[in-house]
Amino acid sequence: MHRFVLPYIWPIITGLLLAALVLLAFPEYLPNPFRQTPPATVEPPSSLVATSGEPAANRPAPEIRQAEPLNRNQGPASYSNAVNQAAPAVVNIYSSRIVERDQHPLMSDPFFQQFFSGDDATTHQRMLSSLGSGVIVSHDGYVLTNHHVINGADQIQVALRDGRETLAEVIGTDPESDLAVLRITLDDLPAIELADSEQVAVGDVALAIGNPFGVGQTVTMGIISATGRSHLGLNAYEDFIQTDAAINPGNSGGALINPDGALVGINTAIFSRSGGSQGIGFAIPANLAHSILNELVTRGRVIRGWLGIEAQALSRELAASFGLRTPQGVIVAGVVKDGPAAKAGLQPGDVLLSIDGQVILDARATMSAIASIPPGTELPLTIVRGGERMDMTLEVGERPVPTNATLGEHQSDS
């Protein structure tokens, strides 16, 4: 057996010895796992090769618009000038009303009633007080504040920054925008300047001045966080300026000013889960406040256009059921008896598509647009009834002044 194997083993051993000698003489042929090898160049497919006649090396670099360096010294180091200009016109408002004090439960027992005379046994009265803020907007004593600050008050007292106090007269209120106008009679009254709130931009510095928690006049600073805020369920007509300047209970009716000390809004509400400021406050724009001020002073009420319908938003499913491809327009859920819509022939179940040629995309925005139309105006409408489009003309009426009890129920009325 060994005679047949030995002839094959010796050549193998000889070959391995020769290979070892060659590798020792030329170590660069040894495999090295840590040695980096240049990647192999792969020719791109013909479909990816540039077809432009201009070589890539000769193309100019793209023109990139470089932003200017951020200037962090643009704003003033202090807003004291703005505060000194505006703060004297911001007042504290103390409203009080008389309520019936609850009778003690024992007084319902005839045994205890015999120990008290008839006068003593009657229900007693007590005084409830609330506080807020206001802004003097004219030298003849007109003060803007929120309706909810003075709502139901039997007496309203106004305290100025200079220490003077006086009773105020209610000129008029507008619950649907939550604004009220008071008047005080004092000499040398300061008055704030009103800015054009249409020029307010997101990112502008804003200062809130008021009397939070009754601690005294306080100034807080933030920015304009948003404009045109609506669908908040606060008022019937909403077009709020949003700010992160700290607004707390007692700030209602106070001033939101710009860095020049001009009024850009009347602080009115906050979004809060704790009752305190969480950086989301809302102010009524100065332009809207100005127009309502003029109407309350000159007419005693705010005149708004009115159709006399109850509108319901049109969902995609409802739109499909009415044969509409897109959910635009509103459903007429109800028609006020003898109102403008009823006289024009509108019926519950009609889909109101457009008003005066303007397609209805948002019911609340349309409601605000209708409110700005003078009563008596002839208004063309487009509706869908029974799957057919119809055109009609409606004469805009004057919106009735809602009572406090029904204000919340009619916020979707148009």
Per the model's pLDDT, the better-predicted residue between 394 and 30 turns out to be 394
pLDDT tens column, 257-278: 999 899 999 998 777 666 666 7
Per the model's pLDDT, the better-predicted residue between 313 and 1 turns out to be 313
Residue 2 has pLDDT above 90, yes or no: no
pLDDT score of 42: 42
pLDDT score of 392: 86
For 40, the token pair is 């192999």
pLDDT tens column, 128-177: 566 899 999 999 899 999 999 999 888 999 999 999 999 999 999 998 88
Instruction: Count other Cβ atoms within 10 Å, centred on residue 183.
Output: 16
Mean pLDDT estimate for the chain: 76
Torsion of CA 136, 220, 77, 71, to 10 degrees: -110
CA distances from 395 to 307, 325, 370 (A): 8, 29, 12
Q: 261: number of CA atoms within 13 Å, CB side?
A: 18
State which amino acid sits at residue 159: A
Of the spans 64-68, 131-135, 271-275, 327-331, which averages the highest pLDDT? 131-135
pLDDT score of 267: 93
Residue 85 has pLDDT above 90, yes or no: yes
Percentage of the chain surpassing pLDDT 90?
26
pLDDT score of 134: 95
Considering the candidates 177, 197, 252, 277, report the single residue annotated as catalytic: 252
pLDDT score of 326: 66
Considering the candidates 130, 174, 177, 178, report the single residue annotated as catalytic: 178
Residue 241 has pLDDT above 50, yes or no: yes
* Active-site residue, 178 included: yes
pLDDT confidence band for 24 (50 / 70 / 90): low
Q: What is the pTM of this model?
A: 0.67
- Sequential DSSP letters for 256-314: EE-TTS-EEEEEEEE--SSSS--S-EEEEEHHHHHHHHHHHHHTSS---EE--EEEEE-
pLDDT tens column, 336-370: 888 888 888 888 888 888 888 888 777 677 777 78
Least confident range from 190-194, 217-221, 384-388: namely: 384-388
Of the spans 101-115, 190-204, 380-394, which averages the highest pLDDT? 190-204
pLDDT score of 160: 95
pLDDT tens column, 209-240: 998 888 889 999 999 998 877 766 666 667 88
